[in-house]
Structure 1
Amino acid sequence: MRLLVTRPQPQADAWVRRLAEAGFEACAVPLLHTEACGDVAGVPAQQRITQAAGLVFVSPAAATHFFEQVPAAPWPAARWAAAPGPGTAERLVALGVPAGCIVQPAADAAQFDSESLWQQLQPRVQAGMLVVIVRGDGGRDWLADTLRAAGAQVDFVQAYRRTAPRLRPAEQAALQAALAQPAEHLWLFSSAEAIGHLQSLAPGADWQPAQALATHPRIEARARALGFGRVLFSRPSFDAVALAARALHGTHE
């Protein structure tokens, strides 16, 4: 069974490499494309970032495109960087943020999302402090509203924009193979928006024979709504996804 990684690049290729090292056959079909939008580099954004007590990075893409645009400098020891899950936290460390400055959900959290992150952020939030949320073009406002309710000032910096997929020839070929032999492939979904793009790429496709792993209940619901015949939930960490994929593969042997 071939695993199809739908994360944006370069995350998709990184996951494919890790899956291959773990013994899986995997390929990338990135169903989201992200690109820097230039907001971070502007003087007003830089002033807000400098004044912030902490920054929340909503995804690995937010971290990647943020650091593409900020001047190279050591991360201030007094400033925390929040990540909703291990993928974003790992990306922040790779980009030079000290691990001791990173706030993320507990390793045994039921979900890796804003609600779980808030449980760790709440003790750090003080009335009047400025928190900057680094994100793409739009997104959920739950964490921002919760921070404001706790007395914090909240500002947004748009580090990137999301666009429709831009599949390379090999990725397009992998998509066509999955459509032709759905039972031989397992989709790995980490974004409900990506599922919407898949629907646009293959209008009229019969998804009943297809199977997927989804890393959040909202994503699981979106895959079921599209018509996937079998959708299983997995925590978004690599180890959890690998374990779930092995279990699913075993049921087909």
Structure 2
Amino acid sequence: MNCAPRALVTRPAHDAAQWVRDLAAQGVVAQALPLIGIRSVAAPVLAQALQQARAAAPGYRALMFVSGNAVTHFFEPNVALALTGQAPAAINTRAWAPGPGTVQALLAAGMPAARIDAPPASSAQFDSEALWPVVAPQLKAGDCVLIVRGASAPAAPGGSGREWLAARLAEAGVQVDFVAAYERCAPALDASALALARQGAQDGSLWLLSSSEALAHLAQALPGQDWQRARALATHPRIAQAARATGFGQVHECRPALADVAASIKSLHAR
């Protein structure tokens, strides 16, 4: 076995590259194997809806961004927000983030920290359930919240995801609108990526899983693959359940924070 723990990072390419660097700084040998592709919305109806949502952003009580990718594609440079003077710093609307990665993306986009709401760093999970107790007290009936999310290809208007949060908002008398800021799709895995995936199914590598959709893409890319010897580290119970359903022989769970992920990888490597 290698003298250093090894992990396969399955996040979208940009995020995976950052995680590989961050894990390396923690003494973890990691390799990027992106299992989700991210691209701008292509359908004219989706692009038009996104432009309209950008222009209407100041009228919402809050904008909820499901991920850093949602932030990046909503606040793209040289779009309507900048042209109308509605850059992030000029919007008085609250910005909601489910976790630290999204918070960092909002800060990088120019959103003032004082207007960002997110779960505490000590939260067991970074998700809608952890965000809700933070933001619920600021709401009143009649408020409007925009959920900025992704759409799975083939994309549907408004995108998909965060239905639990939308239900809680509706119960509080809050109007919920949705917009798709980007599209998620299956990645185009080349021969070397497929070879790495097959190897990772057999050699004891630890798959770092942060999305059930990534697992679905993996199963599609390698139909019939035996995953009984594969090991997974999932950052959410629902993802762990999906990994078990896919057939992973060992599935472990941990908090999604970098320090916890790195510590879990090292611990599992030592076994």
Q: 1:182 aligns with which of 197, 203, 219?
A: 203
In the alignment, does 2:75 pair up with 1:53? no
The alpha carbon displacement at 1:74 in A equals: 4.2
In the alignment, does 2:204 pair up with 1:194? no
The 5 A counterparts of 1:128-167 are 128-137=142-151, 138-167=160-189
Deviations 1:2-40 (A, max 9, x none): 210000121011111111222221111111011111646
How many residues of Structure 1 are paired with residues of Structure 2 in the alignment? 249
- Which SS does the other structure have where 1:247 is aligned? helix
Gaps of 5+ in 1: none
Deviations 1:101-121 (A, max 9, x none): 111112222321111111101
Q: 1:44 aligns with which of 37, 44, 52?
A: 52
- Kindly provide the amino acid, as one letter, of the partner of residue 240 in structure 1: D
Q: Which residue of 2 aligns with 1:204?
A: 224
In the alignment, does 2:12 pair up with 1:8? yes
In the alignment, does 2:37 pair up with 1:33? yes
Give the alignment's TM-score, normalised by structure 2. Answer: 0.86
Contact 1:128 / 1:152 at 8 angstroms: preserved in 2?
yes
Q: 1:76 to 1:152 in 2, by over 3 A?
A: farther
- Kindly provide the amino acid, as one letter, of the partner of residue 170 in structure 2: R
Gaps of 5+ in 2: 152-159
- Kindly provide the amino acid, as one letter, of the partner of residue 160 in structure 1: Y
Give the alignment's TM-score, normalised by structure 1. Answer: 0.91
Q: Distance in 2 between matches of 1:102 and 1:74?
A: 11
Deviations 1:62-121 (A, max 9, x none): 112112255342423632110111221122222222222111112222321111111101
* 38-47 or 228-237: bigger deviation: 38-47
- Kindly provide the amino acid, as one letter, of the partner of residue 98 in structure 1: P
In the alignment, does 2:91 pair up with 1:86? no
Among all aligned residue pairs of Structure 1 and Structure 2, give the percentage whose two residues are the same amino acid. Answer: 48
The alpha carbon displacement at 1:61 in A equals: 1.5
Q: 1:241 aligns with which of 243, 246, 261?
A: 261
- Kindly provide the amino acid, as one letter, of the partner of residue 34 in structure 1: I
Deviations 1:186-232 (A, max 9, x none): 10000011111111111111111110110100000000111111111
Q: Which residue of 1 aligns with 2:21?
A: 17
Q: 1:231 to 1:249 in 2, by over 3 A?
A: same
Q: Which residue of 2 aligns with 1:223?
A: 243
Contact 1:136 / 1:158 at 8 angstroms: preserved in 2?
yes
Q: 1:16 to 1:216 in 2, by over 3 A?
A: same
The 5 A counterparts of 1:60-79 are 60-68=68-76, 69=79, 71-72=81-82, 73-76=87-90, 78-79=92-93
Structure 1 stretches of at least 4 aligned residues deviating more than 6 Å after TM superposition: none
- Which SS does the other structure have where 1:75 is aligned? helix
